[in-house]
Amino acid sequence: MVRQHLSGLPVSQLRRLKQRINSYLVFREAVASFQEMHFADLCSAKCFTSSTSACCGREGIITFFADVVVNVLLSTQQEIDVLLDTLDTDTGGSNCVYLHNTGCLWRAKPIVCEMFLCEHARNLVLDNNEALNSQWKTLRQRERRYTWPTRPVLFDELEAYFVAAGFDSPLMYLHRSPGLLRLKARHGLGNAKGPK
């Protein structure tokens, strides 16, 4: 649905949407490089070599509608085909359907996946390192600027853009979740208007 809608947009509108997610992508690069620098070795030793991970369990994550939009904006048609084929041929199991032997099949994995650190990893890397702990807290605060609707945020805007175009999805938590709607109302926000 997202792919179909985006592929029918005029080039200028698509360009504006891509520009709108630029600062979010800068943030994502910062998180990815923090994870790579401080957690890659640990995660590889603890989970990837033994194929047991608390990170990528089936039904273990929440995906926002905006995660899908960002991913489609960044992916090739072929990459989206692979995601759809994977869903169609899912045979169950305990892992997330998108976990492949080369890693996650999403080009930009959902934000909840990106920000997840298990207790073991947090204890080992962050608990005794005040500087790293503080860097991680800063990244968590930056995350909220895109996802947590106590102010106008990108994730709400991207949902609104598709709502205005007549789409609906159970993943539109910023328009559907009673808790998030109450939070928005408490901060004087109605439903956002999408990027023009």
List residues binding ligand SF4 (CB under 6 A).
39, 42-43, 46-47, 53-56, 61, 96, 98-99, 104, 106, 109-110, 113, 117-118, 120-121
Compute the least distance from the CB of residue 116 to ligand SF4, in Å. Answer: 6
Nearer to ligand SF4 by Cβ, of 114 and 156: the residue is 114
Compute the least distance from the CB of residue 185 to ligand SF4, in Å. Answer: 30
CA distances from 187 to 145, 150, 176, 182 (A): 14, 6, 17, 9
Nearer to ligand SF4 by Cβ, of 104 and 132: the residue is 104
Report residue 17 as tokens: 């949407």
Closest CA to 171 of 65, 19, 44: 65
Nearer to ligand SF4 by Cβ, of 122 and 187: the residue is 122
Nearer to ligand SF4 by Cβ, of 163 and 171: the residue is 171
Gap between the Cα atoms of 1 and 18, Å rounded: 18
Report residue 61 as tokens: 């994550």
Compute the least distance from the CB of residue 115 to ligand SF4, in Å. Answer: 11
Compute the least distance from the CB of residue 117 to ligand SF4, in Å. Answer: 5
Cα–Cα–Cα angle for 11, 13, 18, rounded to 5 degrees = 95
Helix (H), strand (E) at residue 100: strand 99-100
